[in-house]
């Protein structure tokens, strides 16, 4: 008989302890975007709901890591924790410019965690809810005590300025939460999945090896088949939202808030209609002034709702993120405290 391995600690409840965001200062209007694409403010607003977005300062200022650290520091402040109390950092991003080392290790170092575990998660616009699910289960199982989860993107780096099928949609920013143990259930079970057969609908083209071997072609950019993604999102997501609510034992009509990924106001209108949400459920609409910030969109949308009084700390919200993969993830949560 070999040595006995100690069993896992008893499972515990988890909650969002604090939220912080970083919104770049530079506001980019539809008129500015239309200087380089054949489109109009009217077309962009009517098809997507977007009036403006923010772009980070020119590379390398206001980098992905800078924005992640800024949002992370505010989340720590809201959670009333120091960096040294964070033992795990998870960064959800698809726009960190280096594949090695991972962004999370830099963020863990710059926030003074003193050697926290650090990993990046790449799941496109669904990334934040994937990372939140992993973080909650790590704390629940006792593997981690306090996890900093960051969603951060510089989509202005990865969308071609003259491509009218993507340039007007995306924006830059970061949002972060601290996940920790709790007496009450503050984060419900995660539901997630993917449809890789439709993966081409949002893709990088060409890949980096292909580009290195054929440097005459265009550099890698994000390509999106908007209508295919629109159809998938508008007609599949309400089913997953119901699964998320069912797993949490909450009727969608009893929610205080619905925070869908901010990809297109029209997609979210369809999901809200299919879910038959009553007017008592506040619906996030941060896309109007922020655009689609991919993995940062859910925490940025939560922050807007808390800051403007649409919801308050402790309210029940259903988070639902979706995008590249095509993949989706979500959970029901109690809204966290916001950094002042
Ligand atoms: O975050 C990751 C997940 N992403 C999403 O969820 C995005 C999902 N997709 C969408 O949000 C929408 O598909 C878009 C907003 C990207 C596009 O809206 P759409 O209603 O699907 O437009 P469309 O691509 O079907 O194009 C309609 C028309 C076409 O012209 P014709 O063929 O009807 O004459 C396009 O050529 O609009 C034209 N068009 C534009 N016109 C002005 C396409 N892009 C533009 C543009 N400005 N930027």
What mean pLDDT is reported for the chain?
Answer: 97
Pocket of ligand 1 contains residue 227 by CB under 6 Å: yes
pLDDT tens-digit series, residues 98-111: 999 999 999 999 99
The residue whose CB lies within 8 Å of the most ligand 1 atoms, and thus the one to mutate among 47, 128, 232, 266, is: 47
pLDDT band at residue 59, thresholds of 50, 70 and 90?
confident
- Asked if 333 and 18 count as a contact pair (C-beta separation under 8 A), the reply is no
Residue 331: the pLDDT is 98
Task: Give 81 Cα–ligand 1 centroid separation in angstroms.
Answer: 44
Residue 9: the pLDDT is 85
The two tokens of residue 279 are 């007017």
Pocket of ligand 1 contains residue 168 by CB under 6 Å: yes
Quick check: pTM over 0.75? yes
Active-site residues: which are they?
125, 261, 292
pLDDT tens-digit series, residues 131-154: 999 999 999 999 999 999 999 999
Give yes or no for residue 332 having a pLDDT over 80.
Answer: yes
Task: Give 326 Cα–ligand 1 centroid separation in angstroms.
Answer: 18
Ligand 1 atom 12 nearest Cα: 226
For the residues 182-195, what does the mean pLDDT come to?
Answer: 98
Task: Give 230 Cα–ligand 1 centroid separation in angstroms.
Answer: 9
The residue whose CB lies within 8 Å of the most ligand 1 atoms, and thus the one to mutate among 42, 230, 324, is: 230
Ligand 1 atom 11 nearest Cα: 264
Pocket of ligand 1 contains residue 29 by CB under 6 Å: no
Residue 177: the pLDDT is 98
Give yes or no for residue 20 having a pLDDT over 90.
Answer: yes
Give yes or no for residue 231 having a pLDDT over 80.
Answer: yes
Residue 52: the pLDDT is 98
The residue whose CB lies within 8 Å of the most ligand 1 atoms, and thus the one to mutate among 33, 165, 171, 227, is: 227
Q: What whole-number distance in Å separates Cα of residue 136 and Cα of residue 272?
A: 26
- What is the chain's Cα-based Rg? 19
Pocket of ligand 1 contains residue 30 by CB under 6 Å: no
Pocket of ligand 1 contains residue 39 by CB under 6 Å: yes
Ligand 1 atom 43 nearest Cα: 165
pLDDT band at residue 215, thresholds of 50, 70 and 90?
confident
Residue 1: the pLDDT is 76
The two tokens of residue 326 are 């095509």
Q: What whole-number distance in Å separates Cα of residue 116 and Cα of residue 86?
A: 7
Calculate the alpha carbon distances from 277 to 31, 269, 282, 283 in Å: 34, 10, 9, 9
Ligand 1 atom 16 nearest Cα: 226
Pocket of ligand 1 contains residue 192 by CB under 6 Å: no
pLDDT tens-digit series, residues 266-322: 999 999 999 999 999 999 999 999 999 999 999 999 999 999 999 999 999 999 999
Residue 181: the pLDDT is 98
pLDDT band at residue 24, thresholds of 50, 70 and 90?
very high
The DSSP code sequence of 47-72 is HH--SEEE-PPSTTTT-HHHHHHHHH
Residue 188: the pLDDT is 98
The two tokens of residue 216 are 């005459």
């Amino acid at each position: 008989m070999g040595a006995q391995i100690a069993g896992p600690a008893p499972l515990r409840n988890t909650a969002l302890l604090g939220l912080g965001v970083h919104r770049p200062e530079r506001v980019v209007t539809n008129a500015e975007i239309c200087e380089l694409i054949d489109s109009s403010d009217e077309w962009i607003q009517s098809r997507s709901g977007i009036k403006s977005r923010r772009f980070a300062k020119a590379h390398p200022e206001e980098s992905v890591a800078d924005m992640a650290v800024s949002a992370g520091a505010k989340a720590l402040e809201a959670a009333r924790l120091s960096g040294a109390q964070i033992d795990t950092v998870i960064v959800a991003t698809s726009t960190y410019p280096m594949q090695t080392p991972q962004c999370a290790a830099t963020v863990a170092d710059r926030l003074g965690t003193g050697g926290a575990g650090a990993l990046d998660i790449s799941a496109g616009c669904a990334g934040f809810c994937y990372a939140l699910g992993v973080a909650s289960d790590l704390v629940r199982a006792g593997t981690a005590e306090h996890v900093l989860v960051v969603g951060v993107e510089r989509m202005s780096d990865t969308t071609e300025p003259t491509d009218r099928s993507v340039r007007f949609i995306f924006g830059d920013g970061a949002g972060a939460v601290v996940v920790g143990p709790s007496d009450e259930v503050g984060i419900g079970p995660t539901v997630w999945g993917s449809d890789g057969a439709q993966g081409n609908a949002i893709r990088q083209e060409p890949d980096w090896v292909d580009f290195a071997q054929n440097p005459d072609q265009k550099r890698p950019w994000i390509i999106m088949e908007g209508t295919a993604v629109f159809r998938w999102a508008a007609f599949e997501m309400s089913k997953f939202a119901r699964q998320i609510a069912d797993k949490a034992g909450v009727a969608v009509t009893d929610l205080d808030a619905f925070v869908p990924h901010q990809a297109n106001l029209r997609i979210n209108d369809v999901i809200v209609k299919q879910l038959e949400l009553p007017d008592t459920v506040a619906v996030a609409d941060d896309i109007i002034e922020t655009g689609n910030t991919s993995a940062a969109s859910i925490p940025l949308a939560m922050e807007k709702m808390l800051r403007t009084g649409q919801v308050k700390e402790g309210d029940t919200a259903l988070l639902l993120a979706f995008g590249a993969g095509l993949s989706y993830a979500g959970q029901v949560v109690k809204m966290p405290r916001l950094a002042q």
